Structure formats: C-alpha cells, structure tokens
Amino acid sequence: MSSSVMNKTERKVTFSLAGVFAMRMLGLFMILPVLTVYGDQLIGATPALLGLAMGAYGVTQAILQIPFGFLSDRVGRKPIIFAGLILLMLGSIVAANSESVYGVIIGRALQGAGAVASAIMALVSDLTREEQRTKAMALIGMSIGLSFCIAMVAGPLVTQWWGLTGLFSFNGLLALIAMVLVWRVPTPVQQLQHRDTFPVISEIRQVLANTDLLRLDLGIFVLHFVLMALFVALPLALERLAGLPREQHWWVYLITLLSSFVAMLPFIILAEKKRKLKPVFLGALCLLIISLVSMLWSSNHFTGLLLNIFLFFMAFNWLEASLPSMVSKLAPAGRKGTAIGIYSTCQFLGAALGGIAGGLVYQRYGFTGVISMAALVAVIWWVISWSMTTPPYLTTLMVNLKPVNDQSVADVSAALSAIHGVQEVVVIAEEQSAYLKVDRARLDMQALQAFELKA
C-alpha cells in the first residue's frame, strides 16, 4: 500500500477493461427501450415472446458466469474473455439476421452466454497492485453505469435509423471493439487466486446462511426483475398511452437519466459521508415503489409519466450503485468474492425472470398488470429489508504475506488484529495472504504499512 497513484500499465489495464465492460453491457442494454415497440415487425412476435427475448440473456448469464470464472483459472483469463466476446458477436449476428422472434430469442441467449464478467475482474486483479485494485474496480463499475445511460439513448436512435437488424449488427461491432481492447491488455505472468475476486465453492453454503447478504441478493434480484418488466411495458405506454412517437423516446431517457443522476448525488453523500446508509436505502426503495404506483394513474398523461420515470431512475440508480457496496461491507473477510458471485447470479436471474414475467403479464393484463406486479414485488422487498442490519462502514483489504505457514497463522492474525481500525482478520496460508475488514476512518495506516514491510 505504498503508492496512491496508478502506474502506466495499471492505467492501461483499467481503462481497457472498463472499455470492454462498457462495450459488452452497452450492446446488451440497448435492446431494452426498443424491443417491444419495434419487435412487432418480427414473425411470430407476441408480448410474451418479446419479453422472453428481452430476458433470455439473463438466463445464460446466470448459469455460466461463475463456471466461466473458474474456467479462466484453467485455460487463462484472456482466452475465456475472447471466447465470451465471440459468443456475444455470434449472438448479435444471429439476432441481426433473424426475421422471427425465435431467432432473436436464440441470439439473445447466445449474447448472454458470453458471461465473462468474473474473468475480466480476475484479469484486473492479476494486473493491478492491491492498493490500486479498489480504484480499478470502481472505475469499471462507473463504466457499467455509464453504458446503461448511453444505451437508453443510443438504442432508440440506432433502431430509428437502421431498425432492429442495424441495432444487433451494432452490438456485434461493439463486441469486435471489445476484443481489440482485450488484445491490448498484457497477459499476466501469474494468475492470482484470491478470495476478494473469486467465489470459493466450499464457502457458498456459509455465505447463503448470512441473512443480511440474502436480503441484498433478493434486492438485486427484485431491482433487475422490476427494470426488465418495466421495459416490456414502458416503451409501449409512451407510444400508445402517452402518445409519444417511438422516434422521440430517446430524449425522454436522456432527460430523465441525466436529471436523476444529478438528483441522487446528495443522497450518496448523505448515505456514505454522514453514515445514514440504511434510512437512505429504505427511502430510495420507497421512492421506487411510489414511482411505480404513480405510473398507474399517469400512463395517459405524458408530463406525469415523465415525472415518474425520473423518480424511478433516481431510485434505481442509487440502489444499483449502493447494493454492491453494501454486499462488500457485509461480506465476511475472505468471502467477498463468493458473496459477489452469488449476488451477480441473482442479478441476472432477476433480469431473466423480469423480462419473461413482464411479457406474460403484459399479454394478458397490459400496462396496468405489469406495473402492479412490479410494485408488489418491490413492496415485498421493502418489508423484508425493514429489519436488515445497518451495514458496517468497513472496507476490505488484502495483505500479501511471505512466508507464512499453518503454525504462524495465529501469530499473524493476532498482530494484524492489534492494529487500530482492523475489525476482522482471516489469514489463508495457502494463498500467502490475509483478508482484513477495516474502518478507514480509524485505521492506523502507518502500522499496517510497517507490518507489510516486515511481512
């Protein structure tokens, strides 16, 4: 932890892999605001099948993202990432050349099969120093959020100009650009196997037994369930109920996303700096529910619908940004990678089932049915979250130890635990590492750095 500045290689790795994440997620997200309004051109299209097409990527993503991560240990990070991006490109080509909704469903499932998030994060860990890793992960997280915002605007514009065929072809081009970015990244000399990045199979049961983490897993499941269900119905409501032509949808998302992002910033500061995380979390969830319920009465009124879209995105953006941070705070030392792996799987399952359920409900009950379902699911989440433990304001750190053996683990653990601000220590002898949960506001950084030098 001796340097606070990234070196040239770390900057290249971080920005290149952030670009890979952004290209990949941009392609997957761009379909959300357009599929149901343009998908009626596809042979055999029904709301239920279009919902399945929207959520299909989440099914394969949820199934394959952890196995792809483990496979990258065996054959290398970059080969797995290239393979995943090739699947993304193939899925885009299949969907672009399909005249039927079934071809688009197959294409979307192939797109999701390129589940390389774990492998990318592992490559970041291999090529950055511990003291720069959190910064690198944060920049990648920002790239994902930015790609979502761009996708909501770019999706309607690209589809307006070139149709669904052009949109999926553009997805394939993004996958190709991502491959070029991966090619620019150095191949790691040594692959790290540490528990802040990777799930540990033997610890999945213990993590699933943690009720506070389970609440957050349910939370990200519900959040993406609601998002996907909403985007089955919302574009159709803008066009058919509020009377806004599909060619103009892009500016609705531009205005509401930008303004909601600015509006949520004070609440991020309040939650983190003022340590009001739980009340702000429950407040954001209330706002999400209010925006959904209000949509039931504003769907025929453009101004009211616009306001509620703004409120929805304000709550969604805050929750999307804060839930991973809460998982990191609550995950026991040495089990963060396992906790994040389970959390990510729940996220993709939520997206899959949200699209599927949204399509089925819309086909039978229309806009009102979808929004009522989404609001009900969000209310259940709020009730379950009411009794959650306030997440501790702790950060995970990893300390490299050389040498350490089974006999010296207790001594190393005791020495680290004695450092002011260290709340929890787990020493893994086979990894020559210690995982700490620390309160950065109280941490004696000089003592920790001195320990590292001696270790």
* Gap between the Cα atoms of 54 and 445, Å rounded: 48
Residues 6 or more apart whose Cβ sits within 8 Å of residue 402:
432, 455
3-state secondary structure at position 355: helix
Tell me the backbone φ, ψ of residue 291, rounded to 5 degrees: -65, -40
**pLDDT tens-digit map of 61-95:** 999 988 888 888 888 899 999 999 999 999 999 99
| Domain 1-198 is found in CATH 3.30.750.24 | no
Q: How confident is the model at residue 4 (pLDDT cuts 50, 70, 90)?
A: low
Residues 6 or more apart whose Cβ sits within 8 Å of residue 55:
228, 351, 352, 353, 354, 355, 356, 358, 359
Tell me the backbone φ, ψ of residue 155, rounded to 5 degrees: -55, -55
**pLDDT tens-digit map of 210-247:** 999 999 999 999 999 999 999 999 999 999 988 999 99
Tell me the backbone φ, ψ of residue 426, rounded to 5 degrees: -130, 120
In CATH, the architecture of 203-393 is Up-down Bundle (1.20)
**pLDDT tens-digit map of 326-335:** 898 888 888 8
Answer yes or no: is pLDDT of 133 > 50. Answer: yes
- Comma-separated ranges of CATH 1.20.1250.20 domains in the chain: 1-198, 203-393
Task: Report the pLDDT value the prediction gives residue 407, as an integer from 0 to 100.
Answer: 64
3-state secondary structure at position 43: strand
* 337: β partners: none
Task: Report the pLDDT value the prediction gives residue 411, as an integer from 0 to 100.
Answer: 84
**pLDDT tens-digit map of 239-264:** 998 899 999 999 999 999 999 999 98
Task: Report the pLDDT value the prediction gives residue 397, as an integer from 0 to 100.
Answer: 82
* Stronger pLDDT, 120 or 407, i.e. the higher one: 120
* 43: β partners: 100
* Token pair recorded at residue 79: 């080969």
- Comma-separated ranges of CATH 3.30.70.100 domains in the chain: 395-454
CATH number for the domain running over 395-454: 3.30.70.100
